[in-house]
Every structure is written in structure tokens, then in C-alpha cells.
Amino acid sequence: MKAEERKTKKCKYCQSDIDAKATVCPVCKHVLKQRHGCLISILAVIIVLGGFGLFFNMSNDLLQKNVSGVTDESQYITMEEYNQIQSGMTYDQVVEIIGGPGESTASSGSGNYQIDMYTWYGNGTAGSNASITFTNGMVSAKAQIGLE
């Protein structure tokens, strides 16, 4: 092979003969794909596996209810406990049924009128909880999702 001969390749866009090392076609100006071997593939696999690991670790935390901040499982509300809560009960009566304090999630009032909402984390699937609304210190509404 003579020193003046160069390796060429075809541009995949315009089919012109161009230098084999070209990263941009001098004819049509398209950027040509560069080959990086398997390094990019290996890096992509590592990133994807790391993402899955993070996702499953977070899911495991949710399933174990670690994100709720509740350290005593007796403070989780069950469907049986939820069903015992009746309109007109006080916050202290509700805490006695559930076994622990709820998380204050909303509070509003004016004059002699006060509304407070508390949430207890559930014993069911991740995200299960019960919200109890107290109007002037008495249960006025309740809602739950996913309790067992």
C-alpha cells in the first residue's frame, strides 16, 4: 500500500467516499456515528443496574414502612382499628385505639371553629394510610386507602 493511499468509507447519508477517520462528512456535513467499542455498552448496563438497585431498595423501604418515621409497629393503623373510630370521638380516644399519635397534616381555624387533620400510616401495602379529620376536637370525617 502506498503512503499516499488512504482508507475510505462511504458516508451513510450521501454515499460519498470520505476518509475512514472522518467524524463529519465533508460533502453533506452530517455528523457520523463514532464507535467506542463496548465501553459505552458496559457503562449503560452499570447505570441501569444501579438504577434498578436504587429503585428496589426504595421499594423495600416503602414496603417496610421506614419512610413513615414510625418506629413502633403498634402505631400503624389496621382496618380493624379504623373501623372502631366513630364520629364524635376525641383525638385522645383515637390515639388510644391506634396505639400512637398521628402525623398532623393540616390545621385551620377561625374564632371558635377549628379543623385538624391527622394521618396514620397503614399496615397494608406501601402507601396505605388513614386520615382522620377533627372539627372542634371531635372526629368529623375519616378516609383510608389500602389498610388490611
Three-state DSSP at 135 gives: strand
Can you give the residue range of the structural domain that contains 14?
8-63
Q: 10 vs 40, which has greater pLDDT?
A: 10
Q: pLDDT tens, 52-68?
A: 555 555 554 444 444 45
Same domain flag for 75 and 141: yes
Note the pTM of the prediction, 2 decimals. Answer: 0.54
44 pLDDT band, cuts 50/70/90, is: confident
Same domain flag for 51 and 80: no
Three-state DSSP at 67 gives: helix
pLDDT in the model for residue 83? 96
Sign of CA dihedral 91, 92, 94, 95: positive
pLDDT in the model for residue 139? 92
How many residues make up the chain in this entry?
148
Q: Which of 22, 45, 63 is at the close of a domain?
A: 63
DSSP 96-118: HHHTSPPEEEEEEEETTEEEEEE
pLDDT in the model for residue 22? 87
CATH value at residue 113: 3.30.1450.10
